[in-house]
Amino acid sequence: MGKEIERKFLVRDSSYKDMADSHVEIRQGYLSRAKEATVRVRTFGSRAYITVKGPSHGAVRSEWEYEIPVSDALEMLREVAVGSVLEKTRYIVDFRGYKWEIDEFHGGHRGLVTAEVELPSEDTEFDRPGFVGEEVTGDPRYYNSNLS
């Protein structure tokens, strides 16, 4: 079992685009959005994954992720996804030793931009890039499963 320790923030400006090393288009939907376990299917560029996440405990949650055929992922998104399928562009920014993932949402959530950083422990100190705004870690309004 893997543990994910992640902090999430709103983004205040588009300077992340100039700082980004890469970006990728993502489509994701949920087979389950239950509080006890979410099951996500995602296309990530030319790859696809199914991910099971346990409940959040602050910035920590259990996570299992497996690569699956893209054709299976697209079929699941089309046939069994609960709610709407999210579409977003993810930008990757390396900043002072940490990889930041900035998600620019499209469709019904156009204008929402969030930044996440994965940490080795909950109490890890880290510098925030200038584009990072208010922290929303643990705020269910910004869970991708609730946005879908």
* Catalytic positions: 30
Rounded-to-integer distance, Cα 130 and Cα 82, Å = 35
User: Based on the number of CB atoms within 10 Å of its own CB, is 132 exposed (0-12), middle (13-18) or buried (19 or more)?
Assistant: buried
Per the CB < 8 A criterion, the answer to whether 115 and 104 are in contact is: no
Rounded-to-integer distance, Cα 69 and Cα 18, Å = 32
Q: Is 94 left (phi over 0), alpha (psi -120 to 50) or beta?
A: beta
Host H or E run for residue 75: helix 70-79
Q: Which residues share a beta bridge with 27?
A: 43, 87
